[in-house]
Structure 1
Amino acid sequence: MTAESVRWGILATGGIAAAFTADLVDLPDAEVVAVASRREETAKAFAERFGIPRAYGDWEALAQDADVDVVYVATPHSTHRAAAGLCLAAGRNVLCEKAFTLNTREAEELVALSREHGRFLMEAMWMYCNPLVRRLKTLVDDGAIGDVRTVQADFGLAGPFPPSHRLRDPAQGGGALLDLGVYPISFAQLLLGEPSDVAARAVLSDEGVDLQTGALLSWEGGALASVHCSITGGTATIASVTGSQGRIDIPSGFFHPDRFVLHRDGHDPEEFVADPADGPRNSLKHEAREVMRALRAGETESPLVPLDGSLAVMRTLDAIRDRIGVRYPDEDTAPELTPA
């Protein structure tokens, strides 16, 4: 890092990589210095689009670039372990897209690598860095609605997605759960921690990925979370948190809200609205700022997106896949899970 900026490398050139890079280049203390793809022409086109000085046709070259302070990994889930692991082993810090990996075993390997090499690692769960979501969590933690009793959240896309699409491809970790279900599950666990029990049902495609999944998560203290994800129908993407003394309702786009409403027993509803100074509701700048803050502070993980929390979400995703019977090609057998 220089005194003025943190130097980023971008690994992959798809839609989410473009969205993140577009937000990154607007930050005065961020500098995008390199991009890598498996095809040099693709990397060069991306570099030209965003004014990036170096373009690599392989991941290794980016991982070995000593001028890169942190790499943003935006490949499909199925290659997160390989891409992020390569960068960590080469001494690069890493921000890795969600779902963190295909399974808990791979996530544990990445965490172990980051700790072995003393490198920063964070899952790109941008929802956790959103200022309004952080405000909501503070209210819940401070007892604004009493003890949390239920959480409800959904995320579905209308499609239809053809069998050739990555969301239908088992080899790329396809299905609704890892792409979309990770959001409502992460939201529930942000407020309640890791569940003690998981029940789930799903509709599977001919390729063996989940087209839609519903799960009921439960906690020892009696709290429940009902979560749903789908790639066959566009859902409202709303969330609600009910406690013993009130509830909080989040309208469409709960994972990047522009407002939420607090209902406290005996009080008028109170609306919390995003600060316009924080930028558009779909901004990825908040997670980038958190990464750069942590790097400047010498931290190897973020308190907003802790690695233990990412591992806990992966364990829940594994448990749900166990219940619904989804396995990916060449995936190592996961630890035996207790049937629901």
Structure 2
Amino acid sequence: MQDTPTHKTRIFSGVQPTGNLHLGNYLGAIKRFVEMQADHECLYCVVDLHAITVFQDPDELTHNTREVTAAYIAAGIDPTQSTIFNQSQVSGHAELAWILNCVARIGWLNRMTQFKEKAGKDREKASAGLYIYPNLMAADVLLYHATHVPVGEDQKQHIELARDIAQKFNNDFAETIARVGYPGGFFPLPEPVIAGAATRVMSFRDGTKKMSKSDPSDLSRINMTDDEDTIAKKIRKAKTDPEPLPSEVDGLKERPEADNLVGIYAALAGTGKDAVLADYGGGEFSAFKGALVELATEKLTPIGDEMRRLLSDPVEIDRILADGAARAHSVADPILAKTKDIIGFIRS
């Protein structure tokens, strides 16, 4: 697809406000959001429309939306530099999602592995929203003509779906799109950005399972609001195997717990697993865990402290979200209006 003047580099991504933000959310998403804002136009969303694909207690949803916002800011996202907003304040997400529902094919959605995982065995009782939410995710990205989307490995399939939907829209309406001045296609095909040493952070109790807020054991994860002593305790109790750390990255294969802890250290330190093993390979886990405790508490404790401070002033958080929503509207509204023109909708 040819570039058009509107298809400049633009980043969009988001985090669901479903409570108990943990280390996986930070390393897999928020830390990378901070790193990307220096050189890109960035929109970072609290995706509350996605959250309600399963029932949410209204009071908890309000709190959790503010918590994600606080985490963004505490981690280093500057709300004057990047646009921070909650999805439900920009109605274009839902409007474009319906349009894309009519472009996407049932067969494409049937291939989405996350629905199968989240719906479980009793899919008939899952909400329709859970089934079609990949189309909403595509709308989130395409509404801003975003070109790049930082995501974890588990979301790559959804970005591929967004590309398919964008391509089909461009093909279906090619004649009209060319007539309104976009001969190379109206929607850019977004690229997933999957980078870093810990794009998928695993449980401290089982290195084959993703770190999750739903795990009944709080020892399985580091929560973003954990204090220094709690972080240290969880790392020291993290499951390992009896062998020393390997000296080469290949030695981490078939050792999921070791691989997970080394990846976490590398991500927090901003280095690679090979560099971590160059320093700690051949040593016992006890010494490595001590170093990881020191690094993790240094990096994470100030974020947790700042989150608590920010959450003590919900009025200010809501002001930041409202300001971000106004800025998001300024980008999204012209794109949605042009989408309606392309389709043939009459608008005032």
Output the TM-score relative to the length of structure 2. Answer: 0.30
- Structure with the higher fraction of residues in strand conformation: 1
